[in-house]
Structure 1
Amino acid sequence: MLRTLDIILIVIMTAVAAVTYTIKHQAELKLEEVRKLEAEIKLERDTIDLLRADWALLTQPSRLQKLITSYQGELQLVPTESTQLTQASELPMLKADLPVFDPADKDKDGKVSDKEAKAYAKTIVADVDADADKINTGSVKPE
């Protein structure tokens, strides 16, 4: 005769076996997924190596010189002159670095209205855009 304790222990052992099997199956699925990812990573690394080799081949100075001489008539390439180079300090200010308002435009409460601030910002942006067009680097002939 089976006692109640025996039946409970059999049920517990069966449940533990089912949980163990489920965990083992999930671990095998994750291991398979990891192997697939490793294969994809290896393929991507091989592709990167191949592309680097292609890039090294395409940018060889001797090859580029042959292309320049072949297409000189169409491209009309000339060496860069020193007047075409500029310093960072010669470039205009970024629009993001512009002040939003002029402190002189404050009203008697010490506040600036949105209308005045927007008008001032538009003026500054227009001035910067105009200054940017006046920069002469020598790379483009003035019209």
Structure 2
Amino acid sequence: MLRTLDLVLVGAMIAAATITYQIKHDAEVKLEEVRGLQAEIKLQKETIDLLEADWSLLNQPSRLQRLSTAFEAELGLRPIEAEQMAQPDELPGRASDFEPKLAENGADAALTTGSVQQ
């Protein structure tokens, strides 16, 4: 009987060692995936930084002024004149158009929106 118990325990130890090795191997594979993703994230962040630097370079006012002067005739560009601005009565919607309506339950209290009331 002692031999049977010994064989069962040896078998259980071998099964436990196999399971432990499999779990360790899976964890190492996942760690490599995480490291790969971290490398990709770092590369993407560096690319974003480079593109933001390029964007700020392309949007420099002196460069845009030089380009607008160079292509003024081809694009039909003109400086903005004061007459091109909209008058207040030409703008859509007035403040009175956006006043909140009181609830239909007969409440006399007005809603306050943080604006100055007269």
Per the normalisation by structure 1, the TM-score is 0.57
Structure 2 equivalent of residue 13 of structure 1: 13
Q: Relative to structure 1, is the Cα distance of residues 73 and 84 closer, same or farther in structure 2, using a 3 angstrom cutoff?
A: farther
For CA contacts below 8 A with separation 6 or more, give which structure has more relative contact order. Answer: 1
CA deviation digits over 1:89-124, x for unaligned, max 9? Answer: 28xxxxxxxxxxxxxxxxxxxxxxxxxxxxxxxxxx
1:110-125 superposed matches below 5 A: none
Structure 1 equivalent of residue 67 of structure 2: 67
CA RMSD between the two structures? 2.3
Determine what percentage of the aligned residue pairs are the same residue. Answer: 58
Partner of 1:14, secondary structure, is helix
Unpaired segments ≥5 residues, structure 1: 91-143
CA deviation digits over 1:37-76, x for unaligned, max 9? Answer: 0000000000000000000000000000000000000011
Q: Relative to structure 1, is the Cα distance of residues 32 and 87 closer, same or farther in structure 2, using a 3 angstrom cutoff?
A: farther
Moved segments of 4+, more than 2 Å: 78-81, 83-90
Structure 2 equivalent of residue 83 of structure 1: 86
Partner of 1:38, secondary structure, is helix
Unpaired segments ≥5 residues, structure 2: 95-118
Distance in 2, Cα, partners of 1:73 & 1:10: 91
Structure 1 equivalent of residue 23 of structure 2: 23
Q: Structure 1 residue 3 and structure 2 residue 3: aligned?
A: yes
